[in-house]
């Protein structure tokens, strides 16, 4: 039971970390795409 609890906790922290990094990646990608489009419109 204790081992199962640790496994669940590890899975939760891993999914949270992945979700956080995925959100940061989306934000960075959004900003980089916006900057790229701005450069295209205003050379």
Question: Is the dihedral angle over the CA atoms 21, 23, 26, 30 positive or is it negative?
Answer: negative
Does the pLDDT value for residue 40 go beyond 60?
yes
pLDDT tens across 7-19, in order?
777 778 888 888 8
Does the pLDDT value for residue 25 go beyond 80?
yes
**More confident position, 18 or 3:** 18
Buried-state track 17-41, b at ≥16 Cβ within 10 A, e below 16: eeeeeeeeeeeeeeeeeeeeeeeee
Domain boundaries, the chain: 1-43
Helix (H, G, I), strand (E, B) or coil at 23: helix
pLDDT at position 14 is 85
Among 17, 20, 24, smallest CA distance to 9 is for: 17
Confidence of residue 43 (pLDDT cuts 50, 70, 90): low
Percentage of residues of the chain with pLDDT beyond 70: 79
């Amino acid at each position: 039971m204790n081992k199962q609890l640790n496994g669940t906790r590890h899975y939760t922290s891993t999914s949270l970390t992945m979700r956080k990094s995925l959100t940061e990646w989306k934000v960075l990608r959004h900003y980089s795409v916006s900057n790229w489009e701005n450069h295209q419109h205003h050379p």
